[in-house]
Structure 1
Amino acid sequence: MKLNWGTSIVIAIIAFIGFIMYFVITMSTDKSYNHDLVTEKYYQKELTYQESINASKNAKQLSSPVKIYRSSNGLTVEFPENFDPTLLKGKVFLYRPSNKHLDFEMPLSLSNNYLLVPENRLLDGRWNITVQWTYKDTPYLVTDEILY
């Protein structure tokens, strides 16, 4: 049987569609692939997005910025010296993009102007850190990405 070019193109298109459909079905039914959202309450967070933008602007206008760095004991979040640590209220959220089970949140309860995240809570790899706090009824927000 002799194939002409029109029949060959139709066979190639059908084979390509079959190839794509195989991967679509495999990805949607296989339990080993994770299709989770970054946040559980995505739409509720979107409604408060302008407040996050304002808090980030407040943090950028500080005379001395919040410093996030790796120390010998773990991860240190250092607040400006002119802040009274007892008046700081907020939280530090560490997000691990590769595994949501490693995410954790720590409340701010400071006696000094820094917070130490213990080294045993942090595995090697990328972490997204969000520091959200209020000081004298002014909200602040700092986000950073660290490699630990």
Structure 2
Amino acid sequence: MKKLNWGYGIVIAIVCFISFIMFFVIKMSTDKKYDHDLVTEEYYKQELAYQSEIDARQNSAELTDNIEVKNTAAGIIIHFPAEKKDINGKVFFYRPSNKKLDIELPIHLSKNEMLIPTEKLVEGKYELSINWESDGTTYLYKKDLQIRN
């Protein structure tokens, strides 16, 4: 019987190590349990528009009466400033853990308030982003929310 010398031992160790690494690479890329999503599909396009987001946040910060968000049993109530008229835009609920739970709604007001029923949201953490416009000026309001049903 022939003995293995140290050169064969090193080669066998390297092959075993590479096989071990390749097993985990293949497992992570094919198993749906380890689904890796980007934060946004259009990342670079969104980065180019970042200055307009900064300006909209600054406009929102300069308001004397800003947006108020209340988490009630009926749902999320968003109260817009009373002095602003003809408000339009979108309300976006971003769920960091699962992009399938993201919700985007157009703004429909009733007495400067908008109600989002709790049935539309799953319990957990959301990042609320309200991008709205009034009199040709854009505003952006962001807040982290914890939804409890």
Q: Normalized against structure 2, the TM-score is what?
A: 0.82
> Which residue of the partner structure matches residue 32 of structure 2?
31
Would you say how many aligned residue pairs link Structure 1 and Structure 2?
145
Counterpart of 1:119, as a letter, is: T
2:140 corresponds in structure 1 to 141
Deviates more, 1:41-50 or 1:128-137: 41-50
Task: Say if 1:3 and 1:47 are closer, same or farther in 2 by CA, change over 3 A.
Answer: same
Structure-2 separation of matches of 1:83 and 1:147: 28
Which residue of structure 2 aligns with residue 69 of structure 1? 70
C-alpha RMSD of the superposition: 2.3
Give CA-to-partner distance per residue, 1:52-100, whole Å, 9 cap, x none.
111011111111221122012101111123223xx10101011122222
Gaps of 5+ in 1: none
Distance in 2 of aligned mates of 1:2 and 1:32: 41
Q: What residue is the counterpart of 1:94 in the other structure?
A: 93
Paired with 1:130 and 1:9, the residues of 2 have a C-alpha distance of 56
Q: What residue ranges of structure 2 are gaps of 5+ in the alignment?
A: none
| Mapped partners of 2:17, 2:113: distance in 1 | 58
Aligned partner of 2:31: which letter?
D
Change over 3 Å in CA distance of 1:42–1:2 after alignment to 2:
closer
